[in-house]
Homo-oligomer: A and B are copies of this chain.
Amino acid sequence: MYERKIKEDLDCGIVVAMKVFGAKWKPCIIDAISRGIKRPSELHREITSTSPRVIDMQLSELVEYGIVSKKVYSGFPLCVEYSLTETGESIVPILMQLNQWGLKNKGLVKKINDDEPVETSRCLIHA
């Protein structure tokens, strides 16, 4: 586990919020779970733009923060299900609002970085 050298101000709401969904794939994971994709292997299949390892790591942080809860079923095959906690649910509308804002204003950023096509995709919107 990586140990920070520069301390964070965990009394700042923004800092806290960013720890919870500021990472690259966390919004994507939260969104997927909110859409009913519960099992790790399903999430791995759903989010193909990054590796399973990355999903697992960010997911375990979300569990640690109490955003996602994890339920282990000891049947066969080995089965784990993730779901959003109440707190986790409360992020979803904010995430949607962020997404809306970004979609509305993406022209601002796009004018600047309009060189090459995109390889990875972590879009929340799944048509």
Contacts and interface: CB of A to CB of B under 8 A. Distances in A.
B14 A22 contact: no
Contacts of A10: 106, 109-110, 113, 118
B16 A65 contact: no
Per assembly, the copies of the chain total 2
B66 A16 contact: no
Main SS of chain A's interface residues? helix
Interface in A1-39: 6-20, 22, 27-28
Give me the 3 closest cross-chain CB pairs, A-B, nearest first. A13-B102, A16-B102, A13-B99
Given A13-B100, A91-B101, 9 more contacts: A7-B120, A8-B118, A10-B110, A12-B125, A14-B99, A15-B102, A17-B98, A20-B109, A94-B98
